[in-house]
Amino acid sequence: MGLFDFLKKKPVDGAAADPKPTPAPASAAVPVSAASPAPAAAPPATPTTPATPAAGAPAAATAANANAAPTTGPAKPELPAFVEAMDAFGRRVRIPREEYRSRVLPDLLKTHGSNADQLVGVILQALRDGLAADVMPAAMRLTVVDKDIERALSILAVVQRDAGELDSAEGTLKELQQKRPASPAAKVGLGMLAAQRGDVEKGEALMWQALQMDSNHADAVHGYLQLRHRAVGDPGYRAEVEKVAALPGAWRGPLWLARHMVQTGEAEEATAIYREVLGRAANEQDALVMASADLVQQHRPELVAELIVPRFVAGRHHPHVGIALLHHFVQTQDHAAGAALLHQMYLHYGHMVGGELQPFTGEFDRLRLATLPPPAPLPSNSRIGLYRLDRPIWFAGLEDPTWLLPPKTAGAKSVLFMALAVDGQPSLPPGREDELGRLTRSLPLFLAEHAWLSTPHRGTAVLPMAEQGGWAIMGRPWPEEQLVQQVPAGDRKDTLLVTGVLRVDGETRRIDLWVFDCGTMQRVGHAAAEGTMADLGRMLLQLMAELWPSLGGPAGHKPPVGDEAFWHRYSDGLGQHAALVVTQAGGMAKERLYGERYITQWLQTVALQETRWQPGFWLLASAMGVLHQLGSPVPKEHARILAEVFRQSPPNSAFARLAVRPLRACGLDAVWQARRGEILAAAGSDPAYTAWLQRAEAAK
């Protein structure tokens, strides 16, 4: 079970060939993308479970054991300031340790007190976070509700030991020894207690007895080697490892021996051991974890391809094996195999190790893009076109859900929000050029959406595109008189233009916007805001408040929910999503699109950050639909969270009504069908929705 000495160790940070993976490439490297790294995690929601490995994966302690060499002294883990847990959406959340101890942990113990498997997870989480005394009653209860008496008594002994009750722990282990005489777990625990009390010789003897019972018992192997290493030092360590490796049926000891051989220059001998062990013990989780970590770190791609790649099954094996293989595919620059595995890893383990997976999206995109011929240089007389979005950008991929928008009167005007021009040619550090370009697009998208939702008028975002494909950034605003000529003469009296310019001075950004009435051919409003990129949320709200009276909205208007930080991230998400929408429409080359996983992760985080702003969920749903139309597998990676959002959505909510599109994109049509009747009943006889649903269900 791997409990006694290593229980409080969390899984290592993956079997990495390079402990500091190369970060995702700068988004400016390929001009057609709007991707950027995901924002910081949303504020913690109420956790429902501790952050423990998925079913089918070995315990966290075992994973740590398989990747960590025996140490020369007892571990003294520092108590963490935060506790990691998982909320109903499958997100990892970090909670201050004291808050977790006093508020969250008691609720979890009460909720899962009658389910042995779940109770074990809560107790193990508490032990890893140094809260043994707080789970003592729960550990006692586990011995009543758990049919696996060995597991229950082993965990109780560890809880007692970590709480400082060594005599009680010894009594529990002796009870386990009496009830399960053939189990090595009691001897391992008693050996650790003996060593802790200073009787190292007795501890070694008990560990060795445990190894006679099970030559591959994780804590017996690691505990024995740890104690012997302390006794004999480096010169005598090889003989101790060989002794453990020679035990009948041993595979864990031989893997330690192979690792030692590599360190001493005996690579060929080590190779023979890896082949032999995986030939007979490949079904052992820890064997695959340890071998994959070793071979990738040793840069042995031929052995990884021979011994690890054919054996790893996502969802069955520990995620650290998959992470090791991702590093292997980076080493071998096999972006196709790497991207396929990365998708499987997100499907099965994204909620567990998503942070460790994130850099690989950029890595494999970079490798893929490097195989493409360079984009043709733009000619000096390149033509620029204008791409119009007459509905909020979250209409894309959702089959035109007009019922989402508030009705407009016959006298409503059309407001065209032009992309910002950039005054001059600001010098920006590498990697930040795309930040500037995205701002020129996100602002008109942001204002056009809010014009639809909070003014009498209809909003349209107008974005410049190069004739050969890709975004264009204007060096000066389009002349308003020239833009008027693009508006049909009969529509000019009902059309307003909003043009603007972005000026960059070091870290300072100044945005000026002007409202131009196409009917009277004069400017009728102005708004301006200034600050750094960190101030963008405030600047957006200031521009809206100053601009809205010129657009028929209330003076000083601000959205009903969300703070400045949220609106900064939300508007950035609009700009990123635009890359997906324009690519799907043919305005960009599909093969040059990259970072779609970054985009969807960003939108997901933003939606969950401010759940009161429902268009945030519509934006996420739109991204799922657009990527599905592009043939991307990424939507399926969000199935867990989309299903939970749908489950929590009332049947008459807008998200529940339109959920057929994102759920199908995630492969969850059955989830939609289970509530379809309820949602239709809640919609009543709304003809607009009924017509949309028929169209949405018929779409591929």
pLDDT digits (tens, 9 = 90+) for 425-469: 776 666 676 888 899 999 999 999 999 999 999 999 999 988 777
- Provide the pLDDT for residue 77: 56
pLDDT digits (tens, 9 = 90+) for 108-121: 999 999 999 999 99
274 alpha-carbon distance from chain centroid: 33
pLDDT digits (tens, 9 = 90+) for 179-190: 999 889 999 999
pLDDT digits (tens, 9 = 90+) for 377-421: 766 677 788 899 999 999 999 999 999 999 999 889 999 999 999
For range 302-309, the mean pLDDT: 96
Task: Quote the CA–CA distance of 587 and 319 in Å, as a whole number.
Answer: 38
**Backbone Cα Rg of the chain:** 30
CA atoms within 13 A on the CB side of 32: 25
pLDDT digits (tens, 9 = 90+) for 554-611: 889 999 999 999 999 999 999 999 999 999 998 888 999 999 999 999 999 999 999 9
600-606-611 Cα angle (round to 5): 125
| Contact criterion met (CB below 8 Å) for 315 and 283 | no
- Provide the pLDDT for residue 326: 98
For range 2-9, the mean pLDDT: 34
Q: How would you class 554 by CB atoms within 10 Å of its CB: exposed for 0-12, middle for 13-18, buried for 19 or more?
A: exposed
- Provide the pLDDT for residue 410: 87
Q: Quick check: 553 pLDDT over 60? A: yes
Q: Quick check: 163 pLDDT over 90? A: yes
480 alpha-carbon distance from chain centroid: 44
Backbone angles phi, psi at 477, to 5 degrees: -60, 150
pTM for this model (two decimals) = 0.83
* Residues 619, 625, 626, 628, CA torsion sign: positive
Tokens of 116: 């042995």
For range 511-525, the mean pLDDT: 96
Q: Quick check: 624 pLDDT over 50? A: yes
Task: Quote the CA–CA distance of 669 and 662 in Å, as a whole number.
Answer: 9
pLDDT digits (tens, 9 = 90+) for 25-59: 222 222 233 333 333 333 334 454 444 433 333 33
User: CA dist 273 to 28, 208, 266, 524, 684, Å?
Assistant: 46, 23, 11, 80, 69
- Provide the pLDDT for residue 467: 77
Residue in this structure with the two tokens 């090595």, named with its chain if needed: 184
DSSP string, 325-363: HHHHHHHTT-HHHHHHHHHHHHHHHHHHHHHHHHHHHHH
Task: Quote the CA–CA distance of 141 and 150 in Å, as a whole number.
Answer: 14
* Residues 390, 657, 655, 643, CA torsion sign: negative
Nearest to 353 by CA among 324, 313, 394: 324
* pLDDT above 70 as % of the chain: 87
Q: Quick check: 67 pLDDT over 60? A: no
For range 668-684, the mean pLDDT: 95
Task: Quote the CA–CA distance of 519 and 636 in Å, as a whole number.
Answer: 48
Per DSSP, the three-state class of 387 is strand
Mean pLDDT of the chain: 86
For range 528-555, the mean pLDDT: 95
What domains are defined for the chain? Answer: 27-31+47-370 (1.25.40), 384-607 (no CATH), 633-700 (no CATH)
For range 191-217, the mean pLDDT: 95
Q: Quick check: 633 pLDDT over 70? A: yes
Residue 525 carries which side chain, given as an amino acid letter?
G
Per DSSP, the three-state class of 622 is helix
Confidence of residue 70 (pLDDT cuts 50, 70, 90): very low
For range 662-687, the mean pLDDT: 95
| Contact criterion met (CB below 8 Å) for 398 and 655 | no
| Contact criterion met (CB below 8 Å) for 15 and 320 | yes
Tokens of 694: 């028929």
